[in-house]
Amino acid sequence: MKKRLFRYLGALIVSLVSTHSGLMRFALADIPACGLSDVAAWQMSLDDPTEEATPAYVRGVSEAFIEACPDRPEVAEAHRIAGQSAAYDKDVAGAAAHFDAAGYVTDVETLFLHAAVRSALGETERASKLRDEAIDHWISRIERRGLAEIEVRDADGGELIGIHFKRTDPDTNISDLWIARPDGAGWPAALKVTSERQLNAFHRLRAGEDAAQLRFVRLYRCHTRRVLARTSEPVTQADIRAAAELGLRAYLANPDTAQRGAMQRCLLAEHMLPEISPATSVPIQ
């Protein structure tokens, strides 16, 4: 009787162990290799780095996340960030691979960097397409937010795009912006009217509290910027349109281009296509 009882108990134990092992394997199979805690750890390493956040560091932690969590939906964003870092370090091949893996992107800075990478690889047609995507996405955001009216004029060698702001960032107070977009290879250029709060504060320290605010007309190219005018008089849309017709049409005849084999990113892209938050924008006075 005891032997029979022990055999039953032994069989029951084996059955329970087998069932438990099978259930554990089934449960583990449903648990992804990476979870939100892994995503949070990667984001924390970017937001609160354990060392100087150089491009090499940012690329390293992003590539580590990609390798550890290849199936996470956040991997596309990790590729985008790693691609930017590789581009800053002038690793053209590495940046190209990451940008390709990132897929569809609307971020202006990333698109300009990717255009520089493709120019360095000699892919001028693709570089021009990426440049145009950056400009088009930016204009679409401005229109969608109701911040400006858009005007487009054809020109020899490209087109002129006028952005007449209705609302803008109070610190920069951009009233008008004209962009020269070449037809083929080449970087854009921009003519911009601003009335920066900080510069006017310095001006009033010297000239007195009642001094009229200054307005600046600047020409931006990818690697240089120049003040064309500084005035306390209003700059009308007709004034800036005439300046754009003169200066930017001349630019389109000989636009800046990146050289094959050299990583030359557009340093002033954020000035040509400034990010304006609807939460902080105010009506232009």
- Residue 152 pairs with which residues in a beta bridge? 161
Whether 262 and 179 share a structural domain: yes
Tell me the C-alpha distance between 36 and 63, whole Å: 17
Q: Answer with the one of 51, 80, 104 that is the final residue of a domain.
A: 104
| CA-to-CA dists, residue 145 to 81, 190, 275, angstroms | 26, 21, 12
Tell me the C-alpha distance between 258 and 186, whole Å: 7
For the cut 70, the answer to whether the pLDDT of residue 17 exceeds it is no
Q: Does residue 223 fall inside a structural domain?
A: yes
Q: Does residue 246 fall inside a structural domain?
A: yes
Which residue segment(s) compose the domain that 254 sits in?
A: 148-283
Whether 57 and 176 share a structural domain: no
Tell me the C-alpha distance between 148 and 115, whole Å: 26
- Give the pLDDT score at 201: 67
Whether 45 and 164 share a structural domain: no
- Give the pLDDT score at 207: 60
Q: Does residue 109 fall inside a structural domain?
A: no
**Residue 134 and residue 273 in contact, taking contact as beta carbons nearer than 8 Å:** yes
Q: Does residue 199 fall inside a structural domain?
A: yes
Enter the pTM of the model: 0.82
- Give the pLDDT score at 214: 76
For the cut 70, the answer to whether the pLDDT of residue 211 exceeds it is no
Question: What average pLDDT does the chain have?
Answer: 85
HSE-CB for 36 with a 13 A CA cutoff: 0
Whether 164 and 278 share a structural domain: yes
Tell me the C-alpha distance between 102 and 77, whole Å: 6
Q: Does residue 179 fall inside a structural domain?
A: yes
Single-letter residue type at 181: R
Whether 158 and 88 share a structural domain: no
Q: Does residue 17 fall inside a structural domain?
A: no
Tell me the C-alpha distance between 197 and 35, whole Å: 45
22-70 pLDDT, tens digit per residue, is: 444 444 444 457 899 999 999 999 999 989 999 999 999 999 999 999 9
Q: Does residue 125 fall inside a structural domain?
A: no
- Give the pLDDT score at 149: 94
| Number of domains composing the chain | 2
Whether 165 and 253 share a structural domain: yes
Whether 277 and 174 share a structural domain: yes
pLDDT classification of 279: cutoffs 50, 70, 90: confident
Q: Does residue 94 fall inside a structural domain?
A: yes
Single-letter residue type at 187: W
Whether 209 and 156 share a structural domain: yes
Tell me the C-alpha distance between 95 and 241, whole Å: 38
Reduce the DSSP state of residue 83 to 3 states and report it: helix
Whether 154 and 235 share a structural domain: yes
Q: Note the Cα 191 to chain centre separation in Å.
A: 21
Q: Is the model more confident about 125 or about 30? A: 125
